[in-house]
Structure 1
């Protein structure tokens, strides 16, 4: 009887621990951050963003840019306070103006939920 109860508890835990991916279609697009220094101006725009975390992710993206960890047209994971975001970042430069365009692909919330942007 103990083994049967143990098996039922283990199987329920395994069934509910599987990662489910939710799809969202209505992300927010917009200019999130404008940072000026003596040598350049950086504009960070996010696309397909989740409203709750878009400002935090933009700030973290700017920190990564300052540390030179952002590569043009490569997948990038930005670690935020509420969620981690996987996306693609495009860098455009013209004179002393730099534009970072970050497109959300997946949002890994810290509570275990995974959301993917779907067209």
Structure 2
């Protein structure tokens, strides 16, 4: 009887274990200015491209915080840890006089549920 229960326990563990995350592609997203902030150095505008609607404000705020902490570099990939998902993308920083534009292009969204979404532009194919 113990062997049967132990075997059932093992089978249940394998059945409910987390496997590889499910990966999906998406070819739509929101583009636009998410945050405009004024500081002593000038105006900072955070824009996101190909973003997911539900997390775009949270990610923009965290990008702004990373920029203020000097942890962003232009034309580099960066991963932003959000409340609902972690987003990987390319960050482009442009400066002109007292205006700074921080543009973030979503490439990959890893949701806390285990789903992973990858942006795929269908126009380039």
Question: When the two structures are superposed, what TM-score results if normalisation uses the length of structure 2?
Answer: 0.87
Q: Distance in 1 between matches of 2:84 and 2:7?
A: 39
Q: Distance in 2 between matches of 1:13 and 1:32?
A: 39
Instruction: List per-residue Cα deviations over 1:14-47 (Å, max 9, x = no partner).
Output: 4x52211111111110111111112211111100
Segment of structure 1 superposing worse, 3-12 or 62-71: 3-12
Q: Distance in 2 between matches of 1:67 and 1:38?
A: 15
1:13 and 2:12 are equivalent in the alignment: no
Q: Distance in 1 between matches of 2:27 and 2:41?
A: 38
Q: 1:103 is matched with which residue: 105, 113, 119?
A: 105
Q: Distance in 2 between matches of 1:11 and 1:110?
A: 21
Q: 1:23 is matched with which residue: 22, 25, 38?
A: 25
Deviation at 1:6, TM superposition (A): 3.6
Q: Which runs of 5+ in 1 are unaligned?
A: none
Alpha-carbon RMSD? 1.4
Q: Which residue of 2 aligns with 1:92?
A: 94
Deviation at 1:4, TM superposition (A): 4.0
Q: Distance in 2 between matches of 1:64 and 1:42?
A: 13
Q: 2:53 is matched with which residue: 41, 51, 54?
A: 51
